[in-house]
Structure 1
């Protein structure tokens, strides 16, 4: 923790996390053990902090709120108000509860690096779409009521533990020798804590996250590029001196900083690690803070060694209107040479239970796009077959190098899982798992370009047509654009060359055709973006926005629409 951080009682947050019709969850990190109080109108809630690796956290569960209300709130630490900050240029933070029956509006995106927001930072990584969104919602660069969402979903790579910024490297270098492994990558919990501070401490973004409820899931860079790509990749990592410390710190800090706030009060109550926190709060002396360090590390170690021991995936229900299923596509992979799966058996069973109809709109959050460009899909499927020995062991080794070298590790590279989830989704969309939704939409990130595609049943399969519109809507990156020379190459390879080549090589390796066929509706585009969707009478509206700097004013970037699409969907 820096000297600047140590001077403030409130280190990070407050962050508005799980919110429903009458309750809200507020997360904070503080500089010391304390009692945290949230007051929202007549409602008051409090929680003692718990400790981990010398840091202090509280999760305050605020209950008894009015549905559909927007109530300003304050945060106090041991009786002293710490939020909102005195003299803040931003509006009062509010708790905005869900209103039953109101059309759902949701923002989402992925891949955001944490560099400065001045000209140097913007020249390096472009204008931060999240910060631009924050300033528009705060009324700094436009009307404050501009299409305010009910929540934002961050679909991976909230932090980059491997590709660190100058600020993060400076922090690392002050602690240890960066000429020794793991060099400028993260080594332990303390470095993760600082990385989250860099990601979430900008004043504009901090204000937004104190008001806009958020849900999150990790992707590879939250831990390391290509995390759990293959059995060979896993063996390479486990042979190093530093991987075990990285994965324990990564999963442990993820549970604290991201995962806890994804859960409802009832879901948290069933979490064995959280039960330690609540039991301590109920029976220990009020002045004694629980140190969760040892239990947290043991939990993270087991979650890595035995992925089926813990589920990172979760689901949100919005009445009959919508269901949001968010899938862990990293930690739960099965990587044995004779059995590769994106999800283990328990996770696949759980997902099957969540993929059902009887809602108007089914949203599936997956950090990795389920439906890549069709040609690239078959290239990845071929890559899996090649690495698996379809053409012999020598070419299998070449296939493994290609898999790791060019990131052939999306859903398409786990064909068994892709085919299984495709069957589930088709059953939902044809009405065999309850009333067919109007739309089934995969929301994804990861690939550093955005697009919308639509799937249909492949002709001449004899399968029944879909009753739902089946979409893939990608938003990536929020702030980490591809270099311009890479944008052209990505577009050509993904949507041009890969098309004819992919099908040919896949057939040569006896990769089966998918029962679906899909094509672009919009895209691709490569800007830093934040996407939004809204349920409408006709179906869905989706749009993508970016920040732009005019007249050199990097402090207050304007927000402009990059792309939009109206999806007209049938009623059932």
Structure 2
């Protein structure tokens, strides 16, 4: 059977007041056209490892416009699909008069949405939101921010394993994990091709950043971890495929038109005028290998401004400095960029980092202690135990990189105190990864509020036993005991304290952040099955308004 002309997408990616980008994967070489408002924009495909892609740059739009659009591949209409029960997809540009509304979350596995899938992985919160939006346009956010683990390259589903078995011996390394670009391409197809989520991503702008499972659990947790991986027969192929496919499927669409124009890979695409389809395979593989070994040569972080709200999306995985004497969650080049984005003079500063900056404080102390002993605070034998603990129970968030944590804590305190321009009402970290959700705030009396919000998972709940483990590690006795052991390893105290405002809860969630006159309103939503497994009802899990300090809200 011949493949349909459109294999994946369209995905509506970076969208601003006057432009939008539409990403697709096609079955063969093609000219892809987007038509809206009696206009047409086109792009030729490029090829990576036998797969064909295009990103169509749609420009000259009016701010605040809502335009139904269609996609054509070599002149054939391919989207929206004929007889689709879902609404026509639209390109909705930003309006300077509209307050920011953003959906966000992290950690989503791709299994079927039938009773078995819902029983094993819970109801997909993103798909639930898609169905609710299809019935109520008033729910539409300006974009959706996906904060890591969009795909799981190491914890594969039965459907992914079936594909792996069709092309290699699954009993040979790397077994059920992904090996190469072809397998990544199939994994992304599984993640984004079900009906409701595919429609959602075609009509709602998306922006993304990776976390560890997009490549492998504990990716770049330490130099020891990296040496273990590099000693295998398969890791080089995996990291090259992971980063190359990430550039194609996720990072390219994050870029604004001006950032794309400066991107070293996109310049080759935009500048290609030959008769043959541009093959980026060798170039992209070499780029991925270089970025893995020399992360300072490329940045996956980026920034978005929405009026007087700034969103800074931080790569906290690929840009690490693993040198034992200079450990940093973001290396010096990335840090210089990040430092330049973090300033006052705006109303709200949103810092999106897949790993929570403010963990529950008991867990924070435990991770800081583990880093210290892993680095030799208690001797060589304890260091080996600390390294095993770090990898076994994922003790590698910001707290486990104390130099980076302390430096960023000082910066956000200065911002909130008005030392980097006028103080924002809120400095808010948005994070995922930990598979439970909560909101915490730094204990302080004056200046702007410093808040940590977490939404995790979208669809990958912790087993009950692991939930209890997370609570024990994070709360109750973990706080005083963690502080004692951290001090015993001479870990410096955090520059401030913080407390949980709400949480934790363990549902599959998608959160919505709404800028309102009262402050930043955050809601978390889950899916509830009543009669039809594939059509869950959206239910609110929690709500909080982070009001400006001194406000009556």
**Any conservation in 2 of the 1:456–1:466 contact (CA below 8 Å)?**
no
Q: What is residue 98 of structure 2 aligned with on the other side?
A: 102
Shift of 1:43: 2.8
Shift of 1:490: 1.4
Shift of 1:44: 1.6
Shift of 1:570: 3.8
**Any conservation in 1 of the 2:348–2:424 contact (CA below 8 Å)?**
yes
**Any conservation in 2 of the 1:362–1:440 contact (CA below 8 Å)?**
yes
Q: What is residue 313 of structure 1 aligned with on the other side?
A: 301
Cα distance in 1 for residues equivalent to 2:97 and 2:489: 50
Cα distance in 2 for residues equivalent to 1:170 and 1:38: 35
Shift of 1:485: 2.2
SS at 1:516's partner residue?
A: coil
Instruction: Flag the 1:203–1:235 CA change in 2: closer, same or farther, 3 A.
Output: same
Q: What is residue 303 of structure 1 aligned with on the other side?
A: 291
**Any conservation in 2 of the 1:375–1:502 contact (CA below 8 Å)?**
yes
Cα distance in 2 for residues equivalent to 1:394 and 1:373: 28
Q: What is residue 173 of structure 2 aligned with on the other side?
A: 181
Equivalent residues in 2 for 1:157-306, closer than 5 Å: 157-280=149-272, 283-285=273-275, 288-306=276-294
SS at 2:108's partner residue?
A: coil
Shift of 1:426: 0.9
SS at 1:240's partner residue?
A: coil
Paired residues in the alignment total 551
**Any conservation in 1 of the 2:104–2:455 contact (CA below 8 Å)?**
yes
Q: Cα deviations across residues 414-464 of structure 1 (Å, max 9, x unaligned)?
A: 00000111111111111111111111100000000000000134xxxxxxx
Equivalent residues in 2 for 1:130-529, closer than 5 Å: 130-139=126-135, 144-280=136-272, 283-285=273-275, 288-320=276-308, 322-457=309-444, 466-529=446-509
Shift of 1:500: 1.4
TM-score, scaled relative to structure 2: 0.98
Structure 2's unaligned 5+ residue stretches are none
Cα distance in 2 for residues equivalent to 1:355 and 1:567: 20
Q: Name the stretch that deviates more: 557-566 or 496-505.
A: 496-505
Q: Cα deviations across residues 126-153 of structure 1 (Å, max 9, x unaligned)?
A: 00001110000001xxxx2242100000
1:75 aligns with 2:71: yes
Cα distance in 2 for residues equivalent to 1:257 and 1:247: 15
Q: Cα deviations across residues 219-242 of structure 1 (Å, max 9, x unaligned)?
A: 000000000001110100000000
Q: What is residue 522 of structure 2 aligned with on the other side?
A: 542
Shift of 1:488: 2.0
| Pairing partner for 1:555 from 502, 518, 534 | 534
Shift of 1:539: 1.0
Shift of 1:407: 0.8
SS at 1:86's partner residue?
A: coil
**Any conservation in 2 of the 1:547–1:559 contact (CA below 8 Å)?**
yes
| Pairing partner for 1:61 from 44, 57, 60 | 57
Q: What is residue 510 of structure 2 aligned with on the other side?
A: 530
Cα distance in 1 for residues equivalent to 2:277 and 2:252: 18
SS at 1:312's partner residue?
A: coil
SS at 2:271's partner residue?
A: helix
Shift of 1:46: 0.5
Cα distance in 2 for residues equivalent to 1:528 and 1:270: 38
**Any conservation in 2 of the 1:43–1:64 contact (CA below 8 Å)?**
no
TM-score, scaled relative to structure 1: 0.95
Q: Cα deviations across residues 493-524 of structure 1 (Å, max 9, x unaligned)?
A: 21123211110000111111111110011100
Shift of 1:486: 1.8
Cα distance in 1 for residues equivalent to 2:108 and 2:354: 13
Cα distance in 2 for residues equivalent to 1:512 and 1:201: 48
SS at 2:322's partner residue?
A: strand
Shift of 1:466: 4.3
Shift of 1:492: 2.2
**Any conservation in 2 of the 1:450–1:525 contact (CA below 8 Å)?**
yes
Q: What is residue 462 of structure 1 aligned with on the other side?
A: none
Cα distance in 2 for residues equivalent to 1:557 and 1:506: 45
Q: What is residue 461 of structure 1 aligned with on the other side?
A: none
Cα distance in 2 for residues equivalent to 1:242 and 1:156: 23
**Any conservation in 1 of the 2:446–2:549 contact (CA below 8 Å)?**
no
Q: Cα deviations across residues 178-202 of structure 1 (Å, max 9, x unaligned)?
A: 1100000000000000000000000
**Any conservation in 2 of the 1:43–1:65 contact (CA below 8 Å)?**
no
Cα distance in 2 for residues equivalent to 1:385 and 1:137: 47
